[in-house]
């Protein structure tokens, strides 16, 4: 009765045919219920008994039942992954790792904030505090002050199989447990006994027929439980003090280091076309959106949706370069003749301004024409277009967790996901390289690893990961605010020279960093404080300002003093 317009009678007619097909394929809803619950019960039993070597649980499952009755428990499992100390790993990290194993999970609060609040033990004040910190439904802010804002959910359907459940459990074990932690517990658990669908019903194949009951003996369950308890009772540790993501404070003080070794800019990269190859420079102008022409263009599919290396790894083989004197961007790729695009803004009567989306944020763009569209489509082997951000309407700062920035700060973004700049530290790269080399047969070169992280500014600092303690930095006359860490996704698994994937890179980062896949920090540019030219150069000194309550090594001489 609340229908606005014509009732969708065609869909209503299709319902009966849909139910008939479902009945023909599976034998009916009762069989689907028994089959999916058997898979959920099996996965729950194994998952809930996974332990680290110290006895700590690998996951925390949120449920109102013990998965013993399919009449009151559906085929879903809601959980968070924990580390050895009982600290929650953010759901976005779990999602990124799962995608490398071709596993689809749902994350967040699942449009059920009440249940989310209850199971995560959040008060109304916690909810308000999370909102004030910038957390909104559907974002990737999974931890605030070490506490989860949501969880991970897996679901089984009538097409799911026992092998799917084992694939998921193998993923958890491979990414969280070392060989010394535990033997794979589900090897001692029998495969669910399958009951064939009646012969007059079509089936998937003999291996995937529906099963009504999971057959796990009491003896086998006791074996799993006894193995888990053999490591002893686990007690959660005392909460750690002070999150590294402290808010920027007015009382932040200049950083000074023992030995006085200066921090310098080692490399500068810009990415004229979003998700395409880097363009390395030794010095470059800075505009009001970041490095001039950085991510001003992007490739979209025939539906106008932004294409990234996640969907099309060969984008990294498209090499754009900027010629400021001739005012052109030259695009090259192996097997293709070079093609150029004018740097002049063509927004005018002849250009059709359209609305595109970058990470759910709407931006105004215009198409760069059929000539470059044909070039890209030929190289990538799929229809696509090159579009450019319109100068008429600049994209204001995304509503992200940009602590420390004044609400009145007028920040303009290009086609970036999060912030104007991304900074990484060579010392951090070297430390990560040691972890990766231990896991790979052929160690990565430092240059290749740097390019995988697709930073704008690469600095050479004495200590690894000290950039995460910075609140602000100065490079010459340029002032930058550090607005948070960069949580990495599967793009770092793509070799930027060949386009080949290696999921070990993200797994190594996760193992090295512990609870998060953070690497590098985001920067926003503050207004210039002097009349000096706004040029960023390799070799320039970097002067950081530490966050509040960060320990500072006192200078040993007057020469080691530094200013903010």
- State how far the alpha carbon of 286 is from the alpha carbons of 294, 412, 456, 516, 539, in Å: 10, 13, 12, 31, 16
- 3-class secondary-structure state, position 560: helix
Query: Which residue shows structure tokens 């920027």?
Result: 248
Q: Which of 109, 111, 306, 562 is catalytic?
A: 111
Distance between CA atoms of residues 389 and 368, nearest Å: 10
Handedness of CA 472, 473, 474, 480 (dihedral sign): negative
User: Helix/strand/coil (H, E, C) string of 156-170?
Assistant: CCCCCCHHHHHHHHH
Distance between CA atoms of residues 14 and 10, nearest Å: 6
Nearest to 390 by CA among 362, 419, 417, 359: 362
Distance between CA atoms of residues 563 and 560, nearest Å: 10
Distance between CA atoms of residues 339 and 372, nearest Å: 7
Nearest to 515 by CA among 152, 145, 146: 146
Adjacent-strand bridge partners of 501: 494
Handedness of CA 152, 156, 160, 166 (dihedral sign): positive
Q: Using CA atoms in the order 537, 542, 545, 547, what is the torsion angle rounded to 10 degrees? A: 90
- State how far the alpha carbon of 472 is from the alpha carbons of 283, 519, 523, in Å: 21, 17, 8
Tokens representing 124?
A: 């109304």
Q: What φ, ψ does residue 270 adopt, rounded to 5°?
A: -125, 160
Q: Clarify whether 111 is annotated catalytic.
A: yes
Residues ≥6 apart with Cβ < 8 Å to 168: 43, 103, 154
Q: What φ, ψ does residue 218 adopt, rounded to 5°?
A: -60, -35
Q: Which residues of 10-27 are buried (b: 16+ CB within 10 A; e: fewer)?
A: eeeeeeeeeeeeeeebbb
Nearest to 451 by CA among 278, 292, 331, 293: 278
Per DSSP bridges, beta strands 421-425 and 457-460 are parallel
As annotated, the active-site residues are: 111
């Amino acid at each position: 009765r609340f229908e606005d317009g014509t009732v969708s009678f065609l869909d209503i007619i299709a319902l009966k045919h849909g139910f008939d097909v479902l009945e023909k394929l599976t034998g009916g809803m009762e069989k689907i219920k028994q089959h999916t619950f058997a898979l959920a019960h099996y996965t729950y039993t194994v998952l809930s008994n996974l332990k680290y070597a110290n006895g700590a649980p690998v996951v925390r499952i949120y449920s109102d039942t013990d998965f013993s009755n399919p009449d009151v428990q559906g085929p879903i499992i809601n959980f968070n992954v924990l580390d050895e100390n009982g600290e929650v790993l953010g759901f976005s990290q779990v999602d990124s790792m799962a995608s490398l194993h071709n596993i689809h999970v749902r994350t967040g609060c699942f449009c059920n904030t009440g249940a989310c609040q209850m199971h995560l033990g959040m008060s109304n004040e916690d909810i308000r505090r999370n909102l004030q910190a910038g957390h909104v439904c559907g974002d990737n802010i999974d931890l605030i002050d070490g506490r989860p804002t949501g969880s991970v959910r897996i679901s089984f359907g009538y097409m799911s199989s026992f092998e799917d459940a084992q694939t998921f459990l193998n993923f958890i074990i491979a990414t969280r447990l070392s060989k010394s932690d535990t033997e794979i517990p589900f090897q001692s658990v029998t495969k669910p006994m399958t009951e064939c669908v009646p012969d007059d019903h079509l089936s998937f194949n003999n291996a995937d027929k529906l099963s009504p009951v999971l057959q796990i003996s009491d003896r086998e369950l006791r074996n799993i439980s006894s193995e888990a308890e053999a490591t002893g009772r686990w007690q959660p540790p005392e909460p750690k003090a002070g999150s590294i993501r402290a808010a920027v404070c007015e009382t932040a003080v200049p950083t000074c280091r023992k030995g006085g070794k200066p921090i310098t800019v080692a490399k500068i990269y810009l990415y004229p076309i979003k998700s395409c190859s880097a363009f390395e420079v030794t010095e470059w102008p800075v505009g009001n959106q970041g490095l001039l022409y950085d991510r001003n263009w992007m490739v979209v599919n025939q539906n106008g949706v932004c294409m990234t290396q996640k969907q099309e790894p060969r984008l990294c083989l498209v090499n754009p370069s900027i010629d400021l004197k001739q005012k052109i961007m030259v695009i090259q790729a192996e097997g293709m003749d070079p093609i150029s695009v004018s740097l002049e803004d063509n927004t005018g009567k002849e250009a059709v301004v359209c609305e595109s989306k970058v990470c759910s944020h709407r931006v105004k763009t215009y198409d760069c024409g059929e000539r470059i569209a044909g070039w890209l489509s030929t190289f990538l082997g799929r229809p696509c277009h090159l579009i450019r951000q319109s100068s008429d309407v600049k994209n204001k700062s995304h509503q992200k967790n940009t602590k420390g920035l004044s609400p009145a700060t007028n920040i303009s973004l290009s086609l970036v996901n999060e912030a104007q700049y991304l900074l990484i530290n060579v010392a951090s790269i070297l430390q990560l390289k040691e972890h990766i080399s231990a896991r790979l047969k052929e160690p990565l070169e430092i240059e290749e690893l740097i390019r995988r992280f697709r930073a704008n500014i690469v600095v050479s600092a004495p200590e690894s990961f000290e950039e995460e303690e910075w609140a602000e930095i100065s490079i010459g006359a340029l002032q930058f605010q550090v607005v948070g860490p960069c949580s990495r996704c599967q793009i770092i698994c793509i070799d930027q020279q060949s386009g080949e994937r290696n999921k070990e890179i993200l797994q190594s980062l996760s193992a090295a960093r512990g609870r998060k896949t953070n690497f590098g920090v985001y920067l926003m540019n503050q207004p210039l404080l002097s009349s000096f030219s706004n040029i960023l150069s390799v070799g320039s000194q970097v002067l950081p300002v530490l966050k509040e309550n960060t320990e500072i090594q006192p200078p040993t001489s007057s020469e080691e003093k530094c200013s903010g």
